[in-house]
Amino acid sequence: MSRPPSPRPFPVLLPVRPPAAIAARWGDCRTATILALASAPLLLMGEALAAPGEAGIVATLWKWTPVMASGFVLNLWISVLAMAIGTASGAVLGLMQVSLLAPVRGGSWLVTQFFRNAPWLVLLFYCILLMPFEIRLGGVVIPLPAWIKAVVGLALPVMANVAEVVRGAIQSIPTGQWDGAKALGLTRLQTMGLVILPQCLKRMLPPWMNVYAILTMATPLVSIVGVQEAMNLTRAALNAESRPDLLIPMYLYLLVWFFLYCFPIARATLWLERRYGVAG
């Protein structure tokens, strides 16, 4: 009995996809499965090694999962907020770098370089230690808890990196586009808004996602300045258990959480880069 041909959609209507990307994705899935299968005996061995009267390693990890998840949600929340603030301010800073006014251009360049060259942790310390714990606006007192200060501290380097992404994308548009817009009688503002920026969006997306992934991986830094996020809660859980055999599984477990969140972003970035044909 011959198998009926699988119902494939008409190929002409599909967007062209580089075959390498598909192959790489399948390779990933297969290797991931093999890795998962290979780690199963290790886990079982861990169970067997757990001293009598103690809960198994998997059971303990499972017990602390809700606590770690609550911390991880704060990590993600901090990353989203910092990204939003950093993107908004970075876009302005990036546009200022292509301004026609030399002082604006120079000033924004200096700000960008400063925040790009400063280590993330130092900027974080700066914000945590030197920002007030509350601000008074008229009669209203706005409290600033540590995690909000941390968001600002992380948003500063994000701002500088996004500014570079925006500037790079604008400058990568061929000058012919500017000339063409001028010939059509568009003002500089119209040229930017109607011609240049729409073309930039596509080019900016992959590096912007890259900045987001780097930011997400920087969020555990806020544990150093005392915010109760996933890293701190994991250490608290380890202190509560005080079992040396849990050290490696617990830290690995946390690493896996971040990996499962950041790896798909990295793959999607790569895929978009290939699709849009802009390297790096």
Binding site for other proteins (CB under 8 A): 31, 35, 113-114, 117-123, 125-126, 129-130, 213, 216-221, 223-224, 231, 235, 244-245, 247-248, 250-252, 254-255, 258-259, 262-263, 266, 280
- Of the pair 22, 184, the CB lying nearest other proteins is at 22
To other proteins, the closest distance from the beta carbon of 190 in angstroms equals: 29
Tokens standing for residue 186: 């568009």
d(CA 124, CA 17): 41
In the complex, least distance from residue 252 CB atom to other proteins, rounded to whole angstroms: 7
Closest CA to 188 of 101, 102, 87: 101
CB of 126 to other proteins, least distance (A): 5
Nearer to other proteins, 95 or 270 (CB): 270
Nearer to other proteins, 21 or 121 (CB): 121
Phi then psi for residue 187, to 5 deg, are -75, 170
Residue 66 Cβ vs other proteins, minimum distance, rounded to whole Å: 19
State which residue, 28 or 134, has the beta carbon closest to other proteins: 28
Q: Smallest gap, in angstroms, from Cβ of residue 21 to other proteins?
A: 15
| Rounded Cα gap, residues 242 and 99, in angstroms | 58
Which residue, 12 or 130, has its beta carbon nearer to other proteins?
Answer: 130
227 CB contacts (<8 Å, ≥6 apart)?
74, 78, 146, 147, 150
Q: Which is nearer to other proteins, 160 or 192 (CB)?
A: 160
**What's the CA angle centered on 113, arms 110 and 119, to 5 degrees?**
135
Report whether 50 contacts 245 (CB < 8 A).
Answer: yes
Smallest separation, CB 17 to other proteins (Å) = 20
Buried b (16+ CB within 10 A) or exposed e, 161-177: bbbbbbbbbbeeeeeee
Q: Which of 89, 101, 143, 120 is nearest to 221 (CA)?
A: 120
